[in-house]
Amino acid sequence: MSPEWQDSLVSWLEDWAAHVHWLSLITIPIFTGVIGWLINWSGLYMLFSPLTFKGFQVPGLRELTRVLPHKLQEVPGFAQGGLGWQGIIPARAAKMGSIAVDKAIAKLGTPSDFYQQLGPSEIATHIVETFRPEVPDLVDQIMMREHPRLWRDLPRPVKDAIIVRVQAQLPSIVHKVTDDIGVHINQLLDPKLMVIDHFRKNPALVVRIFRDFGQRELNLMVAFGFIFGFLLGIPVALVDQTFHVWWLLPVLGVVVGWVTNLLGMWLIFEPAEPRRILGIKVQGLFPRRQEQAAEVYADIIATDVITLERIGDFLLDGPRGDATRKLLINALMPAVDRAAGPYRGAVRIALGSERFDRISTSVANEAADRTLVPFRDPGFSRHQADKIRDLVARRTKELPPGDFVDMMRSAIKEDEWMLYAHGAIMGLAGGFLHLLIFPT
């Protein structure tokens, strides 16, 4: 550098230093650091809270929202004409359930995989143990309804023999039922509908998934908000004290706020695969802990989402409940024939074919209503959950890191812009607040 350039630089630095507001220069990075911390802290609150919409209805807002850009229509409450807030994750619970199936659960296993993991043979044994004591009352109720005179006239030993024979046939009948369910489970069970419905009714569960899964990483994200804000505040302070334009600090505050949230999300999720940057191994906080995270995620799926109890509810009361009931009835129809054994022909003649068939149908219908009730046994469901937990944990650990990140991030990625916008607004407010405290 020539002496003239050196003199010019020194002269410029002396002039710059003479016009610097040193208190303002020093406090800007501290200010942006605190704002960065507040941005990430409040951003997490916006992500998870409140569970339900808090606000008030604005006349005409629902109609106005329809002509707004699509991104603005996604703001919680706008589509319903409300002005307020609901946590992004609770507000998107049903949507996140759909994405969880498409991106995660569908990759972890088919309905058949989950059903086989639950142990159809053990389920059948549990059903038999639960159902066997009910057989005497069931047979008595049906016979008294369909042919009371015949049933009253039968000697007690004959009645007992029929009941014993039905109980003896029960294990083979129930095993056939559970086997038939297993064969048709992909048609009877829709994990996507099951998960969407459960998440919509239980938004707190969706929040719990993120909290239990990555609370440590989320706390780190808040702490790094101060570091990012402070570091970004250094060039902001230099630029502000160089040009001395009052509006420059609020504008740069917008940039700092947006970039702080952007860096926070990057810190959590990116890069998915380990990379070397300046010789340092770098990987997102979530994918770095995939092994441990898989155990937490598997526990939540096994104990709250895909449980034997909920599968039973869906099979009987879900949108395909009629198909399940039909399958059960078809499997149970031969029960009376088997119970009658070698006397089937004589019994059919004595009762008449029509009445015999009606009794068979009644037995099948009554039994169908009771067969899957043991699915809803919470204790048995918890016992079987260990098998689902092992399956989900194993498959989650086997996911490539990119798929694992996609599984966790895809649910909120479309709404991340709201967090970035929130950071920009807070950065703008922080810039004006600094001007108010340290006017130029």
Task: Give per-residue pLDDT as tens, 191-208.
Answer: 777 777 888 888 888 788
Whether residue 18 is contained in a domain is answered as: no
Considering the domain architecture, whether residues 74 and 197 belong to the same structural domain is answered as no
Q: CA-CA distance, 384 to 16, in Å (whole number)?
A: 73
Q: How far apart, in Å, are the Cα atoms of 186 and each of 145, 209, 324, 325, 327? A: 37, 26, 12, 15, 13
pLDDT of 433: 92
Whether residue 8 is contained in a domain is answered as: no
pLDDT of 361: 66
Considering the domain architecture, whether residues 155 and 75 belong to the same structural domain is answered as no
Whether residue 11 is contained in a domain is answered as: no
pLDDT of 360: 63
pLDDT: which is higher, 393 or 330: 393
Considering the domain architecture, whether residues 74 and 126 belong to the same structural domain is answered as no
Picking from 117, 318, 321, 100, the residue whose alpha carbon sits closest to that of residue 195 is 100
pLDDT of 50: 86
Considering the domain architecture, whether residues 382 and 397 belong to the same structural domain is answered as yes
Whether residue 231 is contained in a domain is answered as: yes
Tell me the H-state helices in 154-202: 156-188, 191-201
Whether residue 112 is contained in a domain is answered as: yes
Q: Which residues contact 399 (CB under 8 A, 6 or more apart)?
A: 107, 290, 407
The number of beta carbons lying within 10 Å of the beta carbon of residue 15 is 10
pLDDT of 367: 67
Considering the domain architecture, whether residues 34 and 56 belong to the same structural domain is answered as no
Considering the domain architecture, whether residues 71 and 123 belong to the same structural domain is answered as no
Whether residue 6 is contained in a domain is answered as: no
pLDDT digits (tens, 9 = 90+) for 160-191: 777 777 777 777 777 777 787 788 777 777 77
Instruction: Give the DSSP letter of residue 67.
Output: T
Total domains present in the chain: 2
Mean pLDDT of 424-435: 92
pLDDT digits (tens, 9 = 90+) for 246-256: 899 999 999 99
Which H or E element spans position 429?
A: helix 416-437
- The model's confidence at residue 427, banded by pLDDT at 50, 70 and 90, is very high
pLDDT of 313: 78
Q: Are strands 275-277 and 82-85 parallel, antiparallel or unpaired?
A: unpaired
pLDDT of 432: 93
pLDDT digits (tens, 9 = 90+) for 1-21: 567 677 676 677 767 777 778
Considering the domain architecture, whether residues 76 and 217 belong to the same structural domain is answered as no
Amino acid at 2: S
Whether residue 317 is contained in a domain is answered as: yes
Considering the domain architecture, whether residues 432 and 293 belong to the same structural domain is answered as yes
- Which bin fits 128, alpha (ψ -120 to 50), beta or left (φ > 0)? alpha
Mean pLDDT of 138-155: 73
Considering the domain architecture, whether residues 168 and 70 belong to the same structural domain is answered as no
Q: CA-CA distance, 98 to 102, in Å (whole number)?
A: 6
pLDDT: which is higher, 321 or 425: 425
% helix, strand, coil for the chain, step of 5: 80, 5, 15
pLDDT digits (tens, 9 = 90+) for 373-388: 666 677 777 777 777 7
pLDDT digits (tens, 9 = 90+) for 208-218: 877 877 788 78
Considering the domain architecture, whether residues 140 and 63 belong to the same structural domain is answered as no
Considering the domain architecture, whether residues 92 and 82 belong to the same structural domain is answered as no
pLDDT of 148: 76
Considering the domain architecture, whether residues 327 and 424 belong to the same structural domain is answered as yes
Picking from 194, 182, 183, the residue whose alpha carbon sits closest to that of residue 317 is 194
Which domain range does residue 276 map to?
Answer: 23-49+87-439
Which H or E element spans position 281?
A: strand 280-282
Whether residue 103 is contained in a domain is answered as: yes
pLDDT of 201: 84
Tell me the H-state helices in 189-247: 191-201, 203-243
